[in-house]
Amino acid sequence: MAYMHIGKDFVPPDVPGKVTGRIKYAEDYTREGMVYSRLLTSPIPHARVLDIDASEALAMDGVFGILTADDVYPDGEPQSTGLKILTNEPTLVGEPILAVAAIDEKTAETAISRINVTFERLPFVLDPLDSLAEGGANAYPGDQNTFVFRQGFATEKWTEDQVASFRAGNEPTGEPQQTWSLGDLEAGFAASEFVYETTFTTAGYPHHSMEPRSAMAYWEDGKLYLHGTSQSLTALADGMAPIIGVPKKDIVFINAATGGGFGQRARANSIPSMAIPAKMSQKINRPVMMRITREEEFTIGGARQGFQGWIKVGFKPDGVMSACDLYIISDNGGKGGGGDASSAADCIDVLYQPDALRFRGTSIGSNTGHRGAQRGPGQNQIAPIIAPILDKAADALGISRLEIRKINAPHNGDVAGPRQTPFTSAYVPESLDLATQQFDWEGRQARRRQRKGSKVIGLGLGQGYHNAGRSGMDGIVTMGTDGRLKIHNGVGNLGTYSYASTSRAAAEVLKMPWENCDVLNVRTDNHLPITSPQDGSNSIFTNTRTMFGAATDMLNKMKQIAANDLGGDPADYDVSNERVHQIADESVGYTYADIARRAMELGGKYTGEADLPDELAEWTQISVSRLAGSAFMGVYHDARHEGNPPGFTVTCCEIELDLETGKYAILDMVTIADSGTIVHPQGMENQLVGGAVWGIGLAGYERHVYDPQNGLPASTGYWQSKVPTYLDTPVKIGTGWVDLPDPENPVGARGIGEPSMGAVSAALAAAITDALGGHHFASAPITADMIINHLAGTEENAVPLAQNNFRG
Amino acid sequence: MNPKVTRRRFIKGVVASGAAATTTGMWYAANGQNRPSGAVERLIRINVNGQLRSVDVAPQETLASTLRYKLGLTGTKLGCNRGECGACTVLVDDVATYACSVLTHSMKNALIETVEGLESPNGDLHPVQQAFVEELSPQCGYCTPGQVMAAVALLRENPNPTREEARHAMSGNICRCGSYDSYLDGVMRAAQLG
């Protein structure tokens, strides 16, 4: 289909501000009379606050107030997972206990040093399996170590022998908290020619967004103005209002740009620290800035769940995956939360369509960084574990590594997951073909395992998947008498440019030149509709639907007005060149400026004062009510779609691994996407290469490390964690896409942000395994130390399946 | 171990770093308290983007703090404040420098350039900025000013770098979004733009 905007590059309006430094992040703002808040955080991994003596601090000149958990939770802290605003029972080092506001940060820090907090020290644990074993310490309040959905905190224990057997590499025998299955597992394994079984680990690690989550707040005329950070403005503000305790109509959230989110700034309950300056400002009646340091960002910024797992996979002689049995203990960190493990099983079912699959999982806490959604939560941890298993099966069955993936690939019409949901569309075989052709996969096979001095070549092929679309959100567009199209968009600006690219769906409907469109975002008092959080790779699918719908509502209204005024039926009219006109005689019509004027003269449904869609979210209703009567308006509530809109990626890579150092260079890499119609090619390429860098980190570098004696985090910085740099990534990453439309989206689009990471991590793990002659570490990351130990025949100096330490 | 331990006693006894002592020193320098009497001269002049700026500087104040909190040049970002990420990169006498890791008092005879100083007086973007726009190099944008300054430093020293040379020259700047490819595309285009 020929589009005016879709599939074409453009300059998103915020980009000049990013290259000049003019765009403002939360910490760049200032306000007359602003004071500064600093945090007192927990120095120990698990404790209970017995007493806080702040008398000396509060007597200091320049100190304006203190905020404690008792202030923000007068009825007691909620018994739920996730970080609290402030807490009296910290379960990880660095968790905020209280905040002090002062004339400057030096004074605030000095005041904090004069506050005497008496802690009762409680037992702590860093490895979930240590907690799972009888007698092991428990991470959570009330001496509990897990959280059961809809039941609350609980305690889960296995015998020491059961844990020891699991660590020794055997199938876990403890009762799982969660299980689901498909097909006949026993029959699947009975039909298998090749069966592979192993335990595995994947590491937890922090999000480490570049912008620490600083926030500034003030109250004016009863309204809260909150400068913060988010992945989507209205999704965040909608959830933040009740956390702070302010009506939705009385919060203005300001967020022109967000310095990285990756899942941990999507929802208000993952960033409750923004309530601290809001509450403090309310208490002391001054604007309050709370700057967050890198170390604090590490602690309150969230982390990926680590896995301690066991997997058994069977393949028939023809290469079909006949059975997969998966058991995962997931590390829920210090605050609980996260459902990564089940998503990992779902990912295997989607990508490889096994005849039978069983998932068993148990979540156990540790007194480490709090866990939550991080780019492809679950799907991406399992990707580097499963890819080398596919290769082993291919080698054993005499099938090519490409062919075994094509044999098991999902197709249009297939279903997957615990509810056997059908795909809205799927073009994985096409993606495999495109990737391997662009990479010359077959031509490179002769290079496999070739050795030159200490260097050896490895080839890897990987796949990634994530559910990539939602629905049920709202859209608003307006037009004034200047005839410009104003697109009210609550999608956040965190680097995907989705706030702009989804807006182009509205411009497309009205055939509006982009230079005559204004995207209204930045602050919620721009009258923004509710959006889904910009997470789960959903924004393109979800919000092109709403933008398209709102613009279509405006288009229909244009035709109605024109038909009423100028004769004929609305169906006799179309739009072009910023006019609505008769199809038969284009001279009969209105300019957009004229039609907007007519709409405002008519009022009622044309200006948002009547006949609004049912089921508009409260947030959207507030925005529409404030706009009503002021402009020609299109309003839309998106009905739910059918099926699972998937995002798929395929990656090919070639590495050169140095057998003397254990390090490897990525010589070449190509990543291909199947994500429907491409809305914004440059943005798409950015998501593919950005996801690739994250995949490189997952496969080879990033991990939590904690001091086992005191529970102190040792990976609070970029270097220790370790985030990939220019030198850890290929000189150039090849990208491409299948570009076939999805029928459930009006412009054919699906998302891609998360799968791009999974495929790369899978390809890299496969390439490392290949270079090492098939040695499967069954671990992410695979570090140089692990490779060297393997090559030297040295046992690793780590407890098997260790979490939050140097292995896994 | 005594089950009851005060924060202060614990830190004194066990912890010298980490989250408990989260941020000591990060922004103190920008504030004017607890100054040592008779020590370093406070009011100094520094040359920023070609302008001499008089500024009250604490003895331990970093250049990043001065730029952001005294001079309002918030284009220079603080990502880590510990010399790891490069978001605060500025040019000091044409050399890419982490502004979080140098003291403002050492800058008295230096020429400091920040991202705000790159545009021409008529508002034209610097070739690096223009190239970064055309290649859509930034994602979240928080590291972008630092990446811009690192690229400017590279191209002044080596106007026609290879991609491999550019990759090494830029390697002191982390991009958590992983936009390295796009930044390198931008550097190579900027070299063409001159």
Secondary structure of A664-683 in HEC code, one letter for each residue: EEEEEEEEEEECECCCCHHH
Q: In chain B, what residues touch A212 (CB-CB under 8 Å)? A: 78-79
Q: Contact B107/B63 with Cβ under 8 angstroms?
A: yes
Domains B39-117 and B127-193 fall in the same CATH topology: no
Determine what percent of chain B falls in helix, strand and coil, rounding each to the nearest 5.
40, 15, 45
Task: Please list the rounded mean pLDDT of every run of 10 residues in chain A (808 residues).
Answer: 95 98 98 98 98 98 98 93 95 97 97 98 98 98 89 93 98 96 98 98 96 98 97 97 97 98 94 97 98 96 96 98 98 88 98 98 96 95 98 98 98 95 98 98 97 98 97 98 98 96 98 98 98 94 98 98 98 98 98 98 98 97 98 97 97 98 98 98 98 98 94 93 96 97 98 96 98 97 95 87 82
Residue A541 CA, chain-centre distance (Å), reads 15
Chain B nearest-CA distance from A455, in A, is: 20
Mean pLDDT taken over chain B: 85
Is pLDDT at B37 greater than 60 in this prediction? no
* Binding-face residues of A in 147-186 toward B, CB within 8 A: none
Cα–Cα dist A28/A291, whole Å: 10
Q: What CATH architecture is B127-193?
A: Orthogonal Bundle (1.10)
Q: Does A38 touch chain B (CB under 8 A)?
A: yes
Which chain A residue's Cα is nearest to B118? A20
Nearest to B148 among A19, A210, A723 (CB): A19
Predicted local confidence at residue B14, as pLDDT: 34
Closest CA to A675 of A776, A573, A773, A745: A745
Among positive and negative, which fits the CA dihedral A258, A261, A265, A271?
A: negative
If you count DSSP H runs as helices and E runs as strands, how many of each does chain B have, helices first? 6, 6
Map residue A743 onto helix, strand or coil: coil
Cα–Cα dist A119/A643, whole Å: 51
Please answer yes or no on whether B82 and A260 come within 8 Å at the CB atom. no
Q: Contact A466/A417 with Cβ under 8 angstroms?
A: no
Q: In chain B, what residues touch A726 (CB-CB under 8 Å)? A: 167-168, 170-171, 173, 180, 184
Q: Does B60 touch chain A (CB under 8 A)?
A: no
Please answer yes or no on whether A121 and B143 come within 8 Å at the CB atom. no
Map residue A360 onto helix, strand or coil: strand
Closest CA to A48 of A80, A77, A82: A77
Which of the residues B6, B7, B67 would you substitute to probe the A interface, choosing the one with the greatest number of A C-beta atoms within 10 Å? B7
Chain A nearest-CA distance from B92, in A, is: 18
**In the sheet where A47-53 sits, what is the strand order?**
A47-53, A116-121, B4-6
Nearest to B31 among A105, A293, A691 (CB): A105
Please answer yes or no on whether B10 and A40 come within 8 Å at the CB atom. no
Q: Does A21 touch chain B (CB under 8 A)?
A: yes
Domain boundaries, chain B: 39-117, 127-193
Cα–Cα dist B80/A210, whole Å: 8
Residue B103 CA, chain-centre distance (Å), reads 12
If one counts every other C-beta atom within 10 angstroms of the C-beta of residue B35, the result is 14
Q: Does A121 touch chain B (CB under 8 A)?
A: yes
Strand pairing of B89-92 and B111-113? antiparallel
Cα–Cα dist A688/A681, whole Å: 10
Which of the residues B14, B61, B180 would you substitute to probe the A interface, choosing the one with the greatest number of A C-beta atoms within 10 Å? B180
Task: Please state the ipTM of this predicted complex.
Answer: 0.97
Nearest to A295 among B22, B85, B125 (CB): B22
Map residue A246 onto helix, strand or coil: coil
Domains and CATH numbers, chain A: 384-469+643-792 (3.30.365.10), 471-637 (3.30.365.10)
Predicted local confidence at residue B9, as pLDDT: 39
Cα–Cα dist A618/A329, whole Å: 39
Q: Does A728 touch chain B (CB under 8 A)?
A: no
Chain A nearest-CA distance from B106, in A, is: 22
What burial class does residue A308 get, using C-beta atoms within 10 Å of its C-beta: 0-12 exposed, 13-18 middle, 19+ buried?
A: buried
Chain A nearest-CA distance from B120, in A, is: 12
Closest CA to A563 of A533, A602, A536, A524: A602
Among positive and negative, which fits the CA dihedral A80, A86, A87, A88?
A: negative
Which of the residues B82, B176, B187 would you substitute to probe the A interface, choosing the one with the greatest number of A C-beta atoms within 10 Å? B176
Q: Does A609 touch chain B (CB under 8 A)?
A: no
Please answer yes or no on whether A718 and B85 come within 8 Å at the CB atom. yes
Predicted local confidence at residue B39, as pLDDT: 58
Closest CA to A108 of A66, A70, A72: A66
Q: Does B163 touch chain A (CB under 8 A)?
A: yes
Chain A nearest-CA distance from B167, in A, is: 6
DSSP symbols for A77-109: ---SSS--SS-SS--STT-EEEEEEESSHHHHH
Map residue A296 onto helix, strand or coil: helix
Q: Contact A371/A335 with Cβ under 8 angstroms?
A: yes
Please answer yes or no on whether A732 and B132 come within 8 Å at the CB atom. no
Nearest to A713 among B18, B133, B138 (CB): B18
Please answer yes or no on whether B87 and A210 come within 8 Å at the CB atom. yes
Chain B nearest-CA distance from A289, in A, is: 12
Q: Contact A612/A622 with Cβ under 8 angstroms?
A: no
Q: Tell me phi and psi for residue A313, to 5 degrees.
A: -130, 135
Q: Contact A636/A475 with Cβ under 8 angstroms?
A: yes
How far from B167 is each of A263, A657, A667, B164, CA to CA, in Å?
28, 20, 14, 5
Q: In chain B, what residues touch A495 (CB-CB under 8 Å)? A: 138-141, 177, 179
Chain B nearest-CA distance from A92, in A, is: 10
* Binding-face residues of B in 125-154 toward A, CB within 8 A: 125, 128-129, 132-133, 135-145, 148
The span from the first CA to the last CA of chain A, in angstroms, equals 48
Q: In chain B, what residues touch A28 (CB-CB under 8 Å)? A: 74
Q: Contact A737/A628 with Cβ under 8 angstroms?
A: no
Q: Does B10 touch chain A (CB under 8 A)?
A: yes
Query: What are the tens digits of pLDDT across the range B148-190?
Result: 999 999 999 999 999 999 999 999 999 999 999 999 999 999 9
Closest CA to B106 of B57, B73, B69, B147: B57
Cα–Cα dist A636/A614, whole Å: 9
Cα–Cα dist B8/B28, whole Å: 20
Nearest to A293 among B81, B139, B148 (CB): B81
Strand pairing of B51-56 and B43-48? antiparallel
Element housing A397 (H / E): helix A379-397
Chain A nearest-CA distance from B186, in A, is: 11
Q: Does B23 touch chain A (CB under 8 A)?
A: yes
Instruction: Identify the CATH number of the domain defined by range B39-117.
Output: 3.10.20.30
Q: Does B77 touch chain A (CB under 8 A)?
A: yes
Chain A nearest-CA distance from B104, in A, is: 18
H helices present in A492-538, as ranges: 498-501, 503-509
Q: In chain B, what residues touch A36 (CB-CB under 8 Å)? A: 27
Q: In chain A, what residues touch B1 (CB-CB under 8 Å)? A: 121
